[in-house]
Amino acid sequence: MKDKIISINSVTKRFPVGNGEFTALSNINLQIGRGEFAGLVGPSGSGKTTLLNIIGSLDSPTEGKAEVMGRSISELSHKESARLRNLHIGFIFQVYNLLPVYTVFENVEFALILQDIAPAERKKRVMEALEWVGLESMAEKKPDKLSGGEGQRVAIARAMVKRPEILLADEPTANLDAKNAHHIMKTMKKLNEELKTTFLFSTHDEKVMSYLDRLIHLEDGKLAQDEIVEHEMSKQ
């Protein structure tokens, strides 16, 4: 694969439970190329979140090696893994956790505060990210004035405002109705094409799967199937 950005080599993850251990991931091998729009798919409990958390350097493998942008996750110091996440990896979760007392603008701006960016430049970047998701007119609203779909779109803007190389989205449509699910998938596909961001989803939602170019099937912590999807070209 040319230009791989994520490389998972013989990764096993075990969690201590009671007096024993539970194997959540078992000998996973997987490469993701730069600019892919791919998903980890499989039933609840199959290990999707565990693998996303390792790739996002929120957790590390028990055995094997997970490399993200050429860096081995288990060898990073606390500070280095925080830096990798802050600069290069965006996260979107099922529950988007916007800060209720701040405006939409401020919620997105927080993602940039840790970086040393002048206020005028910050404002430009935040408004651009809100335009990406079609919410520029909502900038001064508080999160409780938003619908669920709009809230998740703010979460996408918050994750994308840093222009991360990798966007990890854990069941991003789980709380959305069909119309909003399609809307946010179209938004993310557009960002994938325009910014060349690598997207990795975890999902068991058929609507999400229909947009993905690659379905990586997990079953009981094992990689069961790795499927490239051919989409029909529609040019009308």
The one among 7, 46, 107, 173 contacting ligand ADP by CB under 6 A: 46
203 binds ligand ADP (CB under 6 A): no
Q: Which of residues 8-27 bind ligand ADP (CB under 6 A)?
A: 15, 17, 22, 24
Interface segment toward ligand ADP; rule CB under 6 A; list 44-52, 88-96, 175-183, 192-200: 44-52
169 binds ligand ADP (CB under 6 A): no
In the complex with Mg ion, the residue whose CB is nearer, 163 or 204, is 204
| Burial of 33 from C-beta contacts in 10 A (0-12 / 13-18 / 19+) | middle
Which amino acid is residue 102, in one-letter code? Answer: Y
148 binds ligand ADP (CB under 6 A): no
29 binds ligand ADP (CB under 6 A): no
| Burial of 113 from C-beta contacts in 10 A (0-12 / 13-18 / 19+) | exposed
The one among 7, 49, 81, 180 contacting ligand ADP by CB under 6 A: 49
Instruction: Name the binder of 45 from ligand ADP, Mg ion, none, CB < 5-8 A by kind.
Output: ligand ADP
Q: Which of residues 46-75 bind Mg ion (CB under 5 A)?
A: 48-49
The one among 39, 47, 90, 143 contacting ligand ADP by CB under 6 A: 47
Instruction: Name the binder of 15 from Mg ion, ligand ADP, none, CB < 5-8 A by kind.
Output: ligand ADP
Min dist CB 60 to Mg ion, Å, is: 18
Min dist CB 220 to ligand ADP, Å, is: 9
- List contacts with Mg ion (CB under 5 A): 48-49
- List contacts with ligand ADP (CB under 6 A): 15, 17, 22, 24, 42, 44-50, 202
